[in-house]
Structure formats: C-alpha cells, structure tokens
Amino acid sequence: MSDAELVLRSTRVITPEGTRPVSVAVSAGTITAVLPHDAPVPGTARLEDLGDDVLLPGLVDTHVHVNDPGRTEWEGFWTATRAAAAGGITTLIDMPLNSLPPTTTVDHLRTKQRVAVDKAHVDVGFWGGALPGNVKDLRPLRDAGVFGFKAFLSPSGVDEFPHLDQEQLARSLAEISRFGGLLIVHAEDPHRLAAAPQRGGPRYADFLASRPRDAEDTAIASLLDQAKRLHARVHVLHLSSSDALPLIAAAKADGVRVTVETCPHYLTLTAEEVPDGAGEFKCCPPIREAANQDLLWQALADGTIDCVVTDHSPSTADLKTGDFATAWGGISGLQLSLAAVWTEARRRGRGLEDVVRWMSTRTAGLVGLDARKGAIAPGHDADFAVLAPDETLTVDPAALQHRNRVTAYAGKTLYGVVRSTWLRGERIVANGEFTEPKGRLLRRTP
Ligand SMILES: [Zn+2]
C-alpha cells in the first residue's frame, strides 16, 4: 500500500472471503489492497481506525423511484440520495416511472441525467421503460447506458406509463433479448386483479384480498414461459407471494434466466400488524401474512430469491390516505432498509454477510456493476458503510432525509446504526452531516 492515501482499519471487515480483521488501502477512490489488520500505514496515508465497527461495501439499491423531474413534491435526487447515503447505500438505480417525463426515450433519459447530475449524493444509474409502442426506443436507450428495462403487466398507477399485454410483452422481450438486455417486471396479472373483490375502504384485510397471491403467481408463470421460449433474461421485481416460489425454483433449475428480488417491507412487516386505515403501509403487491414472510426468508436462504431492494416509492403525505383502494401505493424505505433487514435477519439467525450479499453484491451483479461495486476487494470503488450492528435506533420520522417523512417504520426499534458512509474514498455523511454531492451518473458498461 505504498501509494495509499487512506487506510480504513477494522476488526470486522466484510470481504468476499468472509468477515476479517483487515486494513483496506484506498488510492484515488479505488481499493488498492486488503492487508493484515496491523499492516504498517505509509506516511502518505491517513488512517481511519474504526475499531470494532463493521466495514461493509456500500449497498447497491437497484429499485428506487426518485420521481425527478416532474413529481418533485413527492421526492427528488437531492433528498433521495441523502436518504440513501444516511442508510449506507452508495449506489442507486432510478426507476423509469413517476418522473415526468418517464425514462422511455433517449431524450427523456438525457433530461433525467441533467437533473440528477448536480444533486446526487451517491452514484445514480437509470432503468429504461418498456411501454406499448416504444420497442424502437429500447436499443437506443440501452446504447445510451440504461441498465435494463422495466415493464408492468398490470396498471402502474400513473397514466403516462401504461402496462404491456402478453403480446406487447412478447414483442418487447424479443427485442431486448436480441441485444442481450434485461427486462425487469412488475408481475401482477390484471385479469386476476379484476376478478378479486374490490371493496375499497380502510380495512387492510380487504386490501389484501384485492391483490391476491394468485395475481402474482399467474403473471410470474407467464413471464417465465416467455423468458424460456425466447431464452431472454428477466428479473421479477418486489416478489411478495410465497406461492410463486416453487414456480421460480423450478424455472431456475430448468435453466430459465430469471432473478428475483424482494423488499425490506415484505421481510420485516406483516399483514397482521398493519392497522386499518394506515396508508403508509400500502404498496403493490401488498405486505402479506407472517407465514408468507417465513417462506420469503427461506427462499433468500436457499437462493430462490436473489436480492433485497427498497422499492422506495414515496408520495406526498396527503396521498397516503386511509382508504387502501385510493391511497398511493409505495413505501419509503431508503434510509432504514439496512437496519430493518439486519434486525430481522439477526433475529432469524442470519449474518451481516448474508445481508451484504443480498443488498450489495448480488444487486451490483444484477446490473453488471460487480467489477466496481458490491465488494471490498482490490479494484473496486472505495464505497463503504460503517455500521454499529449491535446498537439500536428508534425510528423518528423527523430524522429521515427523504422528502415526505411518511414511514411504515415509525416508532420501531431497529438494530444497526450507520455511523458513516463513504463514496470513492470520501466520507459523504457522518452523524447526520453531509458533504456537498459527490455522486456520479453511472452508465451500463458494455
Ligand atoms: Zn417500484
């Protein structure tokens, strides 16, 4: 480490080889070496001795709705990336919808990049959108650097982002597989949703019945069929229904190129505890029963589910009404995702190494950033979170950084305090104090 500028030392560093006492040498924003804990520090380098706090790779959250430009009263790059940084997330990939314009053409992508560039406290990349009628835009978007394409199989909640029917899905997926791209899918079947009882109102049980598991299962089954037929690469977004797990496991065993994510709220909150009229818990697909949650954890353990992402999707507080039928669907989890998942993982006997694999290494791999993100290893960006895993915090909405401080986690006591977050060797937040934005815009690497 003779040319190192910075050395981070901890008794507990989560590396690809396990949790070890090491010193991590950093030069020009890149990890240059992982050395023994007591390795001599060169005179040129600044030593940060973290003691027993855990040093882990910055999290990579591939599912975030920043909504900027267009719905900046809901969220924006400044606030979302501060919330991310405060929660130990150093890379986020922005979803193509809820902003105006949506990211469905190269021009729209450029607009979003212009807006994000000066506001990003963490690194930011973009998904494109696959809509009815934009097949011709997919390859140019991919060449312009989007990481893949999002499609809905049922109404998205915003008029400017319509869903694909089965034929349109086939056309988009065929085009995407032609250039070796990735389609990420909100999988709920519109016919099953339409057939479910739509009572509306404040009762959570009624909302749950209106978004049944079989809507997810049916949509996932048809997606897997199409992926198999086209040998296309697909990713199931925000899986909630545990009933779909056998289908997914069978498809994976059969060689279908499918990956699956779930979210902190499905892993840590249960339908049984959602109060009636509590719109802050509404998301689609919904938070399901405790028994369903147990099976999601089992699927993470056995690899049927690959990764955990926030699906941070805020709105203004007035849209999170007590009527589950009309309330905006989306949970704001950026800042608390690591603590929430770690708290439940720890209760279930899982380690921080698992959490890092699900929330950093695998998500980096999903978007092809794994050569630079998602691991503490030489050649990777010096992106870190420093975590006190045995300290607790009690969630105070006023302490959250995202724009509308609505949260489903209010009052919960969680394990895991993020002491500081580092981006390319610079500490970007510590104790609630942020530097100026230092995030970069990321493009898919060919
Ligand atoms: Zn989403």
Task: Name beta bridge partners: 35.
Answer: 23
Residue-wise pLDDT for 234-263, tens only, equals 999 999 999 999 999 999 999 999 999 999
**Spacing, Cα 190 to ligand 1 middle (Å):** 17
Is residue 186 within 8 Å of residue 241, measured between CB atoms?
no
**Spacing, Cα 15 to ligand 1 middle (Å):** 30
pLDDT above 90: residue 1:
no
pLDDT value at position 125?
A: 98
- What is the fold, at CATH topology level, of the domain defined by 58-366? TIM Barrel (3.20.20)
- Work out whether the CA dihedral 271, 275, 277, 278 comes out positive or negative: negative
Q: Which of 77-81, 173-177, 398-402 has the lowest mean pLDDT?
A: 398-402
**Spacing, Cα 9 to ligand 1 middle (Å):** 37
**Spacing, Cα 130 to ligand 1 middle (Å):** 14
pLDDT above 70: residue 225:
yes
Euclidean distance between CA atoms 429 and 224, whole angstroms: 41
**Spacing, Cα 437 to ligand 1 middle (Å):** 25
pLDDT value at position 406?
A: 85
Edge to edge, what strands does the sheet with 59-64 contain? 59-64, 89-94, 123-126
Q: Which of 87-91, 97-101, 375-379 has the lowest mean pLDDT?
A: 97-101
**pTM of the entire structure?**
0.97
What is the token pair recorded at 323?
Answer: 């009527």
**Spacing, Cα 98 to ligand 1 middle (Å):** 10
pLDDT above 70: residue 209:
yes
Model confidence at 2, pLDDT cuts 50, 70, 90, reads low
Q: Please determine whether the domains at 6-55+382-391+414-434 and 58-366 fall in the same fold group of CATH.
A: no
pLDDT value at position 121?
A: 98
Average pLDDT over residues 16-22: 98
Pick from 337, 308, 349: nearest CA to 414: 337
Euclidean distance between CA atoms 150 and 261, whole angstroms: 14
**Spacing, Cα 92 to ligand 1 middle (Å):** 13
Helix, coil or strand: residue 69:
coil
**Spacing, Cα 438 to ligand 1 middle (Å):** 25
Average pLDDT over residues 361-386: 98
Helix, coil or strand: residue 167:
helix
Pick from 113, 111, 105, 109: nearest CA to 131: 105
**What is the DSSP code (8-state) at residue 381?**
B
410 Cβ contact partners less than 8 Å away, ≥ 6 residues apart: 280, 395, 396, 397
**Spacing, Cα 65 to ligand 1 middle (Å):** 6
Residue-wise pLDDT for 164-197, tens only, equals 999 999 999 999 999 999 999 999 999 999 999 9
**Spacing, Cα 63 to ligand 1 middle (Å):** 6
**Spacing, Cα 237 to ligand 1 middle (Å):** 8
**Spacing, Cα 284 to ligand 1 middle (Å):** 9
**Spacing, Cα 309 to ligand 1 middle (Å):** 10
Model confidence at 345, pLDDT cuts 50, 70, 90, reads very high
Neighbours of ion ligand 1 (CB under 5 A): 311
Q: Chain-wide mean pLDDT for the chain? A: 96
**Spacing, Cα 99 to ligand 1 middle (Å):** 12
**Spacing, Cα 149 to ligand 1 middle (Å):** 13
- What is the fold, at CATH topology level, of the domain defined by 6-55+382-391+414-434? Urease, subunit C; domain 1 (2.30.40)
Amino acid identity at 242: S
Q: Quickly count: other Cβ atoms within 10 Å of residue 103's Cβ.
A: 25
Where are the chain's structural domains? 6-55+382-391+414-434, 58-366
114 Cβ contact partners less than 8 Å away, ≥ 6 residues apart: none
pLDDT value at position 445?
A: 84
**Spacing, Cα 114 to ligand 1 middle (Å):** 22
Helix, coil or strand: residue 372:
coil
pLDDT value at position 328?
A: 87
**Spacing, Cα 16 to ligand 1 middle (Å):** 29
Residue-wise pLDDT for 277-335, tens only, equals 999 999 999 999 999 999 999 999 999 999 999 999 988 888 888 899 888 889 999 99
**Spacing, Cα 236 to ligand 1 middle (Å):** 11
**Spacing, Cα 290 to ligand 1 middle (Å):** 22
What is the token pair recorded at 226?
Answer: 């199409």
**Spacing, Cα 307 to ligand 1 middle (Å):** 15
pLDDT value at position 284?
A: 96
